[in-house]
Amino acid sequence: MNKHTAHENTLIIGVGNPILSDDSAGILVARRIQEIYSASTSIHVVEASLGGIGLLDLMAGYDKVIIVDSIKTESGEPGTCYRLTVDDLGNPSYSWGPHLLDLRTAVELGTRLGFNIPESITIYAIEIKENELFSEMLSPEVEDAIPCLVKKIIDDLKQ
Amino acid sequence: MAQKITINPITRLEGHGKIDIFLDDKGNVQDAFMQITELRGFERFCIGRPAEEMPRIVPNICGVCPTPHNIASTKALDYIYGVAPTPAAKLIRQLQYNANFIEDHYIHFFFLAAPDFVVGPDANPAERNILGVISKVGLDIGKKVIEVRKKTREIIKLVASKPAHPEGGLPGGVSRGIKQEERKGIMETANMCVDFARFALQLFKDVVLKNKAYLDLILSDAYNLKTYYMGLVDENKKVNFYEGRLRVIDPNGKEVAFFHPNDYIDYIGEWVEPWTYIRLTHLRKLGWNGLIEGDNTSLYRVGPLGRFNVSEGMATPLAQEEYEEMVNTLGKPAHHTLAYHWARLIEALQAAEDLQRISVDPLLTSNDLRNMNFQFTGKGIGCVEACRGTLIHHYETDDHGLITKVNLIVATQNNAASMALSVKKAAQNFIKGGEVKEGLLNMAEMAFRAYDPCLGCATHTLPGKMPLIINIYDNKHNVVKTLSR
């Protein structure tokens, strides 16, 4: 991954656990983006097995951040691609604990504590099937959806 | 009318973690069960992998405490390859480890413990969180917590490349040394952490211990559980997070075992119950006696309160003073579950003082980072005290160093049975006559939170949280009330 400095513009964060089956989807999408933008000085790509406050550390100083992750909704079909905002993630929730602080809550907390929060945070996600089984393999539906999500992100970056 | 209360996550991930509380016909708590899910197949996943990959793989088991997994795994490799780390390498591992202890303990205290004590256990849930704490103690304190976290994670990153999932750790050493120009930053971080640790303890005393209601809560029977205790101590029986021998005391404080972690199989048994996925550990020589406390229990607790009880003191001077004050207040052994929070803050102070010691040690910048005089054994057991308790990584390999067996005993597993008992006991004290208010359920959850349980298993699937639903059922299993978080 490229090293980044605080004054650069866009950061893409591929989020996931690389050994929990479909949970690695965000990381794998980020790697495809990295291959395309490896020479870019204004678009940087990192992999992160982080949540909450950890993501704030990475985002600090960037104007625009794209987070790529897996998602499981109540009735979604595996392989469905989504474009979300932070507000789409529901209300902030501090109930459970700091290590499980979700992105929505982390952004609010960071704002209150004076973190340098990016002006634009967009989330691209793939509906997944399996994230409780230790494996480095993706479900076929998720594997097939990776190019679709890569294209959506590239189109976003070209705007 | 018997009722079932369930504290249950809204789940796409059924059974990720839930608490069931059963009421009898009078609406009083009859029983409570805490179900914990385990991720499937880790032991199978690692078979066939080169052993030296394990310190890189195991931090991904858990996004909450990856550093202890990394260090325990590295220590297991030391044994597999029959080699002790160089003195400088051991110092660097301890540097990384103490930094992790400080970061982890403070994040837990300010996010999980402080809301109940600073804002109040009966307060509006919308305010009973880190923001509520900050509004009471001031924004500067909140920023300081984040600063401490940031600086300690920079130390971990320096040693092991990534703070969240460290990748350093080699049999007989470490992969990166410390440069002389990096020492100054480490010293400044260490000094800041000692100052903050003393402040945090004073805050705890002012806000919690000097508040009679809170002190009564800590001392109350609702949060009292008589168990055995276990933890690592050094040759002087002082608390040691990185190494030592495991000491076990009984509910009356008498030592009943003192053994090398390599012999853990002889002392720690695992029991399977149908209502939870986790294997419940207990003292093997006593056998499984069920979920009971007192003289006939075979359950033991680990973590800050466990270490406080099994040790004869702390290893650093300022922490030792605080330890003595806690002994004078609670006595020993202390069975007060909420005292986990107090012990946790004392441990953070020891970690900070040890960070100071390491930061000025001339050996820290040595280039002697690896002992390559291997005497291959094919078996390794790495044991550390993780923030949440004793952690054991047991690996076996074939003659080529490929993994053939993995067994893990994790901290929360050690405490799982006691956690369930603690919740039951707290619930019995606070939920009576069928009256179930959110504040009362929170009192039951406080028993659970004191252990700082690690149920998070590094799943990053959006939205990345484990919300809770509390369903109250009548005796016909009809939902009569729902509380949600």
Query: How many other C-beta atoms lie within 10 A of the C-beta of residue B291?
Result: 17
Per-residue CA distances from A137 to A28, A71, A131 (Å): 11, 17, 11
Residues of A in contact with B149 (CB under 8 A): 53
Task: Please report, for chain A, the start and end positions of each structural domain, with discontinuous segments joined by +.
Answer: 10-158
Q: Residue B473's pLDDT is what? A: 59
Average pLDDT over residues B80-107: 96
- B130 vs A contacts (CB less than 8 Å): 94, 98, 109
- For residue B481, the SS3 value is strand
Instruction: State how far the Cα of B393 lies from the Cα of B409, in Å rounded to an integer.
Output: 7
A7-10 long-range contacts, Cβ below 8 Å, gap at least 24?
Answer: A7/A61, A8/A41, A8/A42, A8/A44, A8/A61, A8/A62, A9/A42, A9/A43, A9/A62, A9/A63, A9/A64, A10/A42, A10/A43, A10/A44, A10/A62, A10/A63, A10/A64, A10/A65, A10/A66, A10/A157
Residue B376: which region, alpha, beta or left (left: phi > 0; alpha: psi -120 to 50)?
beta
- On whether both B269 and B311 belong to a single domain, the answer is yes
Residues B33 and B149 in one domain: no
Contact (CB<8Å) A123/B462 = yes
A82-126: pLDDT as tens digits: 999 988 887 776 655 566 677 888 888 888 888 888 999 999 999
Q: Do B296 and B153 fall into the same domain?
A: no
State chain B's mean pLDDT as an integer.
86
Question: Mean of the pLDDT values across residues B270-289?
Answer: 86
**Cβ-Cβ contacts under 8 Å for A64 (sequence gap 6 or more):** A9, A10, A11, A118, A119, A120, A121, A122
Chain B residues touching residue A17 (CB < 8 angstroms): 60, 63, 458-460
Is pTM beyond 0.90 here? no
Taking CA–CA distances from A88, the nearest residue in chain B reads B463
Q: How far apart are CA B465 and CA B63, in angstroms?
A: 12
pLDDT band at B381; cut points 50, 70, 90: very high
The residue with greater pLDDT, B231 or B476, is B231
- Say if B117 falls within a structural domain: yes
Domain-embedded: residue B384 = no
Residues B175 and B99 in one domain: yes
Tens-digit pLDDT profile for residues B328-366: 999 999 999 999 999 999 999 999 999 999 999 999 999
B176 within a domain of the structure (yes/no):
yes
A63 is written with which tokens? 């104007």
Residues of B in contact with A69 (CB under 8 A): 460-462, 464
Look up the ipTM and state it: 0.75
Of chain A residues 130-159, which have a CB less than 8 A from chain B? Answer: 131-135
The average pLDDT across B120-127 equals: 78
Query: Which of B345-354, B441-450, B474-483 shows the lowest per-residue confidence on average (mean pLDDT)?
Result: B474-483
β-partners of residue B74 are none
The CA distance from B229 to B238, in Å, is 15
Question: What six digits make up the tokens of A107?
Answer: 């952004």
| Whether B208 and B101 share a structural domain | yes
- Closest residue to B130, CB basis, from A19, A109, A115: A109
Cis peptide before B274 (omega within 30 of 0): no
Sort strands B389-397 and B379-386 into parallel, antiparallel or unpaired: antiparallel
Looking at the structure, do residues B230 and B284 belong to the same domain, yes or no? yes
Residues B216 and B239 in one domain: no
B207 and B348 in one domain? yes
pLDDT value at B2 more than 70: no
Q: Residue B375: is it exposed, middle or buried by C-beta count within 10 angstroms (0-12/13-18/19+)?
A: exposed
CA A68 to chain centre: 3
**How would residue B64 be classed by pLDDT, with cut points 50, 70 and 90?**
low
Is B377 among the domain residues? Answer: no
Compute the average pLDDT of residues B123-132. Answer: 79
Chain B residue closest in CA terms to A90? B463
Average pLDDT over residues B91-110: 94
The reply to whether B129 and B243 lie within a common domain is: no
Name the packing angle between helices B66-80 and B139-160 (round to 10°).
20
Interface contact A23-B460, CB threshold 8 A: yes
Lowest mean pLDDT of A44-48, B73-77, B275-279, name the range.
B275-279
B444: nearest Cα among B422, B465, B471: B422
Residue B456 sits in which domain range? Answer: 3-39+414-484
Do B344 and B200 belong to one domain? yes
B368: CATH: 1.10.645.10
Asked, for residue B282, whether it belongs to a domain, the answer is yes
Residue pair B455/B412 in contact (Cβ under 8 Å)? The answer is yes
* Cβ-Cβ contacts under 8 Å, B456 against chain A: 97, 99-100
- As for how many domains chain B has, the answer is 3
In words, the CATH class of domain A10-158 is alpha beta
Q: Residue A42, CB half-sphere, CA atoms under 13 Å: how many?
A: 5
Check CB contact under 8 Å for A20 and B164. Answer: no
Q: Which residue of B has its CA nearest to A92?
A: B126
> Does residue B198 register a pLDDT over 90?
yes
pLDDT at A7 over 60: no
> Does the pLDDT of residue B45 top 50, yes or no?
yes
Residues B281 and B313 in one domain: yes
Q: Please tell me the predicted confidence (pLDDT) of residue B12.
A: 23
Q: Is there a domain that residue B422 lies in?
A: yes
Residue-level pLDDT at B467: 43
β-partners of residue A13 are: A46, A67
Distances (CA, A) of B363 to B173, B188, B339, B357: 14, 18, 37, 11
Query: Residue B296 domain-assigned?
Result: yes
Please tell me whether residues B265 and B356 are part of one structural domain.
no
Mean pLDDT within B61-85: 91
